[in-house]
């Protein structure tokens, strides 16, 4: 549908819902939040730790030894069983607390229009038909049909796995496209990386794409791990062997040897108890708990103790875009300038790392071409590096953020560079043109154009007849550099600068390329 048809379908308009509409729709649609699966009581969760064949055998052993007045043995076995249950219960409770934090993926606040007036409300109070205003850095609070967009880019990695931000528009699209191709829609939980836009709410809560995923996760069938299957098989086999052995001993003693029936029964029970490995559940639980603790130190959440053993039974792991799906962070790792090649250490958005040339650490500020490249990457950029006191974060596109972090590693401050070379105009990045360009001037009236984008596009621009370079560029050499970087698993970005007297004279072009690696 086009925008006007969407307004008609949802019985709303550019001014948003009226107060009368809000009251009616609140009772119809409820709150904009994911419904929760009915919680199991803590008592049931604790008792579920005893749901194991071997534990059943141990509990029977406790009962029989207590009946035989072997209270010390009964107490020891009972303590082992209880320790096993407590460890399992505490570990699962800890994991569930960590999983509960995933609910923070939903936006907490949202800016909307109602009766033409702008409000900031809790995201859970948003209703279908509301008009939501979005800007760079905002988290999308619900599924929206876009009704206005200006250089509007969304990070949809959490839904599609694609690390590149997606450019959005307002035009109608085909009906049956996949989520990644719905370019006039934005989805709950995704991020605005750049630009501004607004949209009309089409789905909230469980009806959103994020809600559909949450609903599927609630009905996942539990699969037994290799360890639990082997332990269950072992327990059944051990139970059969113990019962048959005790029956044979009892029958042999009473029928063939003529021994007293009660005496043989007690002997059979004693053999049964001694055959039960009461230490096995405790040893198994402690071993798995150690594994879970080690995984936790690597920021991996293990909800069920036996699940950690599954990793040990895994022989092949098939993965795709692991870093993209987990963190969606980019880091500059290699830089090629006209005269040198540099490597950059560090990962993520923390500006800690050094520059290497021929394997040795260097002072980045001593290399003019490197500094020029880093400045260009910062100025032709829409992202910002932020520090909230606990960690470094990027407000904007991850690829652009990586350039800001690389510059900061060379002690270049984005604020200072923007102040010394103010921006006059820009051409936003579009997938059709494959580059972004910005026009700047210094405080002496000199102008300069910065470009960044796909290597083949930037190289062709630098080699175009309109740009008369003093020394020319070796187009084939730059294309070979880009191909080599890409073959090493790097995302390659080219950066160029064109000094200009406010576009009256295009005097020369200097190309550079940057290799980036996705972090997991």
CA distances from 340 to 335, 346, 360 (A): 8, 20, 13
- Strands 109-114, 423-427: pairing is unpaired
Which residue reads 């419904």 in tokens? Answer: 35
Dihedral sign, CA of 179, 185, 190, 194? positive
**How far is 148 from 14, CA to CA, in rounded Å?**
10
Give Cα 464 distance to the centre of its chain: 41
**How far is 244 from 242, CA to CA, in rounded Å?**
6
3-state SS, residue 195: strand
Q: Is residue 125 packed enough to be buried (19+ CB in 10 Å), middle (13-18) or exposed (0-12)?
A: middle
DSSP structural state of residue 170: -
3-state SS, residue 121: strand
Reading the block at residue 419, the tokens are 């102040």
The number of residues making up the chain comes to 520
**How far is 347 from 105, CA to CA, in rounded Å?**
24
DSSP structural state of residue 349: T
Listed in sequence order, the residues at least 6 apart from 115 whose beta carbon sits closer than 8 Å to its beta carbon are 15, 16, 17, 18, 19
Whether 437 and 496 have beta carbons less than 8 Å apart is answered as: no
**How far is 220 from 205, CA to CA, in rounded Å?**
20
Instruction: Examine the residue annotation and report whether 397 is marked as an active-site residue of this protein.
Output: no
Q: Give 206-209 contacts, CB < 8 A, sequence gap 24+.
A: 206/34, 206/35, 207/143, 208/142, 208/143, 209/143, 209/159, 209/179
Angle at Cα 376 formed by Cα 371 and Cα 382, nearest 5°?
A: 135
Whether 478 and 496 have beta carbons less than 8 Å apart is answered as: no
The full DSSP string for 380-427 is: S---EEEE-SS-EEEES-HHHHHHHHHHHHTT--HHHHHHHS-EEEEE
Listed in sequence order, the residues at least 6 apart from 43 whose beta carbon sits closer than 8 Å to its beta carbon are none
Which residue reads 């790792």 in tokens? Answer: 333
**How far is 340 from 258, CA to CA, in rounded Å?**
97
DSSP structural state of residue 17: B
Question: Which of 320, 339, 358, 388 is labelled catalytic?
Answer: 320
C-alpha closest to that of 387 among 365, 408, 363, 403: 408
**How far is 317 from 340, CA to CA, in rounded Å?**
38
What positions carry a catalytic annotation? Answer: 320
């Amino acid at each position: 549908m086009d925008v006007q048809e969407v307004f008609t379908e949802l019985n709303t308009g550019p001014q948003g819902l009226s107060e009368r509409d809000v009251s009616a729709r609140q009772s119809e649609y409820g709150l904009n939040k994911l419904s929760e699966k009915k919680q199991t009581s803590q008592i049931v969760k604790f008792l579920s730790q005893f749901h194991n064949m071997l534990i059943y055998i141990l509990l029977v052993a406790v009962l029989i030894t207590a009946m035989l007045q072997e209270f010390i043995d009964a107490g020891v076995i009972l303590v082992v069983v209880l320790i096993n249950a407590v460890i399992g219960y505490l570990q699962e409770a800890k994991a569930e607390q960590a999983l509960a934090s995933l609910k923070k993926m939903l936006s907490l606040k949202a800016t909307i229009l109602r009766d033409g007036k702008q409000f900031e409300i809790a995201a859970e109070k948003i209703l279908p038909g509301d008009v939501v205003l979005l800007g760079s850095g905002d988290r999308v609070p619900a599924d929206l049909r876009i009704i206005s967009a200006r250089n509007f880019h969304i990070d949809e990695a959490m839904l599609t796995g694609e690390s590149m931000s997606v450019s959005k528009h307002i035009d109608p699209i085909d009906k049956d496209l996949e989520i990644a191709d719905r370019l006039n829609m934005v989805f709950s939980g995704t991020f605005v990386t750049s630009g501004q836009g607004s949209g009309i709410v089409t789905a909230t809560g469980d009806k959103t794409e994020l809600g559909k995923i949450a609903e599927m996760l609630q009905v996942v069938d539990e699969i037994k791990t290799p360890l639990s299957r082997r332990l269950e098989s072992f327990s059944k086999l051990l139970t059969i062997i113990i019962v048959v052995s005790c029956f044979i001993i009892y029958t042999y003693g009473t029928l063939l040897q003529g021994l007293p029936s009660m005496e043989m029964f007690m002997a059979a029970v004693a053999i049964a108890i001694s055959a039960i490995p009461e230490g096995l559940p405790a040893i198994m639980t402690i071993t798995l708990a150690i594994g879970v603790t080690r995984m936790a130190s690597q920021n991996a959440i293990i909800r069920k103790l036996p699940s950690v053993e599954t990793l040990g039974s895994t022989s092949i792991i098939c993965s795709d875009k692991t870093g993209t799906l987990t963190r969606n962070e980019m880091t500059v790792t290699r830089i090629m300038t006209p005269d040198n090649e540099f490597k950059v250490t560090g990962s993520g958005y923390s500006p800690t790392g050094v520059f290497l040339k021929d394997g040795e650490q260097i002072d980045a500020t001593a290399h003019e071409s490197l500094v020029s490249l880093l400045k260009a990457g910062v100025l032709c950029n829409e992202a910002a590096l932020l520090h909230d006191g606990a960690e470094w974060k990027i407000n904007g596109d991850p690829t652009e953020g990586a350039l800001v972090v690389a510059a900061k590693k060379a002690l270049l401050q984005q604020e200072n560079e923007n102040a010394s070379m103010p921006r006059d105009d820009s051409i936003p990045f579009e997938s059709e043109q494959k580059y972004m360009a910005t026009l700047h001037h210094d405080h002496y009236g000199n102008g300069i154009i910065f470009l960044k984008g796909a290597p083949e596009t930037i190289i062709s621009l630098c080699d175009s007849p309109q740009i008369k370079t003093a020394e020319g560029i070796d187009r084939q050499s730059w294309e070979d550099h880009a191909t080599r970087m890409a073959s090493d698993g790097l995302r390659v970005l080219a950066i160029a600068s064109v000094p200009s007297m406010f576009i009256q004279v295009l005097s020369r072009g200097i190309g550079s390329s940057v290799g980036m690696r996705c972090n997991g």
